[in-house]
Structure 1
Amino acid sequence: MKIRNKFQTWFLQEDLNFLLTNRIPRITLTRLMGWWSQLRHPWIVKGSIAVWSWFTDLDLTEAKQQTFDSLHACFTRELKPGLRPIDASPDVMTSPCDCIVGACGEIRDGIVFQAKGFPYSLSSLLSSPELVQRWPQLLEGGAFVTMRLTSSMYHRFHAPCDAHLNHVTYISGDTWNVNPIALSRVRELFCKNERAVLQMQTLQGLQFLLVPVAAVLVASMRFHAVDVLLNLRYRGPNEIHCDVDYIKGQEIGWFEHGSTILMFLPPGFALVEGIENGVRLRMGEALFRKI
C-alpha cells in the first residue's frame, strides 16, 4: 500500500503527469485502448482490471454484475438498482452523472471557464454555425458547470430532469487529457477535443445543453437515441436529428472510459448552495435550482 501511494503521488506531479498523459501520440493510443478494451481473454481482462485498480480508487462493489468478459464491459458497467436516488423536486435539475465538479458559475458575454484564468467562448465550443447563431445569445446570463468523470467512476449519464432531446451535433477533434493539470495548461481544451452537443428542453420549454467531451484513452460515447457509436472512426453525419423524451434520471448514454460533461442553462437557474470546484456529486443529487 505504501508503494502504491508513493507511486500515485509521484505520478500526480504536474509536469510528469502532463508529459505522460498529453505529450504522447494521443489519438493512436486512444484507438489502441479501444481495441484492447474489447479483448475477451479472461487473463487480459483480470490483469487489466488489476492494473487499473492499482492506479486508481476503482470500486466495483456497486456494479450490477461482478464479473466482466472485457475491460469495456467493466468501463461501461451498470449499477445495482436503487443506488442513485433521484431528487424528485420539480424545481431541481440533478447531476446527470457521478462526477467531481470543476469550473462553474455564470455565463457572461458568451465566455465561461475551464479553469481559473483559462476562459473559452461558447462559440468556439459549439463550433457549428447553426449552434453559434442561436445558443450563446440564448444562454447569456445563465449558468454553467463542468463535471469530470474520473476513469474509476460510473460512466453512464442520465437526464437531469424530465426532458426532450431534439438534436445531437457530433464534433470530431483531439483527445487531450481533461484532468485539472491539463485544464490549467492547455487553452480552450474543451474546444479542441472530440465532443457532442445535445440540444434539450424541459417539458416547460426551457432549453439547455449537455456537452459530453471525450479525452485521451476514451474518445467514444454512446447515446441511446443514436444508433451508432460516436468515436474517432465515425465519419458522419455530424448533425443527427432526435425525437426522444426522458424522465428524470433516465439513462441517456455512456462514455467508454472517463471524461467530462459540460452543462449550460439559460437565466432562471442557479447552482445549488455548496456546489463549487472540487465537490463530489453522485448522479441524481441536486445540481441547479430554479430562482
Structure 2
Amino acid sequence: MDKLKVNLQYIMPKHALSRLVGSFAASESGALTTAFIKWFIKRYNINMEEAQEPSPEAYRTFNEFFTRPLKPGLRPIAEDKDIVIQPVDGCVSQAGAIENGRLFQAKGHDYSLQALLAGTHEDEAKFMDGDFTTVYLSPTDYHRVHMPMAGTLRKMIYVPGDLFSVNPLTTANVPGLFARNERVVTIFDTEQGPMAMVLVGATIVASIGTVWAGTVTPPTGPQVHSWEYPAEGDNAIHLEKGAELGHFKLGSTIIALFGKDMLEKFDDDFTPGATTRLGKPMAKLD
C-alpha cells in the first residue's frame, strides 16, 4: 500500500491539484470556508487556544486561518547569543553535517548541495562541509517560518520543480526529494558566517511567501530566478533572531544550512523524530 501511495504521486497532476486547492484556500466563501476550517481543526486536532484569534469565524479565507499568528509571547526566544533557535513548529527529519557536498535525506537517499540551492558555485561553496537540518511541518503545525539567528539577506532564489508530498513516507522513498521539489532559497550573512533557509514546496502547498517580497510562488515558471540584496544601506534587509521570515499556505518542509565551523553541535535532543517549537534551542555556535 505504501509503495502504491508513492507511485501514484509520480503520475498525479500535482501542480494543477495544488493550484485548484489554492484557489479555494484564497477564496472568501463565507459559511463554506468556516465549515471547512472547523473540519480541519477537528481533523488535525489543532489547538486554537494558541492562536492570536481562536475563533474559526474570524478568518475570511482558509489561507488566513492556515497562516494564523500565535498569541504574543507564546513562543519565547532563547536569547543567549551562542544559541541558534528552532525556526518553526514541526518535527526533525534530519540534522547533521554536509559531507562531500551532500545532505542526508533518509536511509538510502541523499542529494547534492548544488542541486538544492540551484545557484552559483559561490553559493554552494558557502556551505561546503557545514551543517544542515531538515524540519517537516505537518498540517497541525504553526506555518510561519522564523530566523534561527540574526542575519542580513543577500540572495533569494526561486527554483521551479515538482510538488511531491514531503511527509515521512515520501521522504523515505523518492530520491532527491528536496532538490526536485519547487522551493525558495534565502541566503543570509550573519556575524558567524553564511546561513540559508530553504522553504520547500509540496503537494497542495498553495503558496510560499517571504516578509520582504510577499508571495514568491505562485505563479510558477520553468526557469530559476534569483534576486540579490545589499549588505548595507537603506535597502538592506536585516532580520533579528526569532523574526518572521516567511510562510507556507499549507504545509511543507524547511531546510536550514550553516557554513563550515559555525555550529559547535546540535542539541542532544534535536534528533530525527523530535518535536520542534519555535524559539527553543536547536544548536550552539562554535
Match in the other structure for 1:5: none
1:177 aligns with 2:168: no
Match in the other structure for 2:251: 258
Find the residue that maps to 1:123 and give its secondary structure.
helix
* Larger displacement relative to structure 2 (42-51 or 146-155): 42-51
* Separation (CA, whole Å) in 2 of partners of 1:251 and 1:166: 17
Q: Report matched runs for 1:133-144 at 5 Å.
A: 133-144=121-132
Counterpart pick for 1:123 among 114, 122, 133: 114
Deviation at 1:41, TM superposition (A): 2.1
- Structure 2 counterpart of 1:238, one-letter code: H
* Separation (CA, whole Å) in 1 of partners of 2:40 and 2:4: 19
Q: Provide the TM-score with structure 2 as the length reference.
A: 0.90
Find the residue that maps to 2:41 and give its secondary structure.
helix
Q: Deviations over 1:158-200 (max 9, x none)?
A: 1111211121011111111001100111100111111111110
Counterpart pick for 1:111 among 98, 102, 106: 102
Q: Report matched runs for 1:195-274 at 5 Å.
A: 195-202=183-190, 204-226=191-213, 228-235=214-221, 238-242=225-229, 243-268=236-261, 269=263, 270-274=265-269
* Separation (CA, whole Å) in 1 of partners of 2:219 and 2:260: 37
Find the residue that maps to 1:252 and give its secondary structure.
strand
- Structure 2 counterpart of 1:212, one-letter code: L
Change (3 A) 1:155 1:21: farther
* Separation (CA, whole Å) in 1 of partners of 2:85 and 2:173: 30
Find the residue that maps to 2:134 and give its secondary structure.
strand
* Separation (CA, whole Å) in 2 of partners of 1:85 and 1:163: 19
- Structure 2 counterpart of 1:266, one-letter code: G
- Structure 2 counterpart of 1:76, one-letter code: T
* Separation (CA, whole Å) in 2 of partners of 1:198 and 1:233: 18
Find the residue that maps to 2:18 and give its secondary structure.
helix
Between Structure 1 and Structure 2, how many residues are aligned?
A: 274
Match in the other structure for 1:287: 282
- Structure 1 counterpart of 2:217, one-letter code: N
* Separation (CA, whole Å) in 2 of partners of 1:198 and 1:208: 8
Counterpart pick for 1:149 among 137, 160, 181: 137
Match in the other structure for 1:165: 153
* RMSD (Å), alpha carbons: 1.9
Kept in 1: contact 2:208–2:218 (CA 8 A): no
Q: Provide the TM-score with structure 1 as the length reference.
A: 0.88
Q: Report matched runs for 1:26-175 at 5 Å.
A: 26-65=14-53, 66=55, 67-128=58-119, 130=120, 133-175=121-163
Kept in 2: contact 1:194–1:219 (CA 8 A): no
Gaps of 5+ in 1: 1-12
* Separation (CA, whole Å) in 2 of partners of 1:25 and 1:54: 28
Deviation at 1:230, TM superposition (A): 1.5
Change (3 A) 1:289 1:262: same
- Structure 2 counterpart of 1:107, one-letter code: I
- Structure 2 counterpart of 1:251, one-letter code: E
- Structure 2 counterpart of 1:119, one-letter code: D
Deviation at 1:16, TM superposition (A): 5.8
* Larger displacement relative to structure 2 (237-246 or 166-175): 237-246
Find the residue that maps to 2:103 and give its secondary structure.
strand
* Separation (CA, whole Å) in 2 of partners of 1:73 and 1:172: 25
Deviation at 1:237, TM superposition (A): 8.1
Change (3 A) 1:58 1:146: same
Kept in 1: contact 2:145–2:245 (CA 8 A): yes
- Structure 2 counterpart of 1:248, one-letter code: K
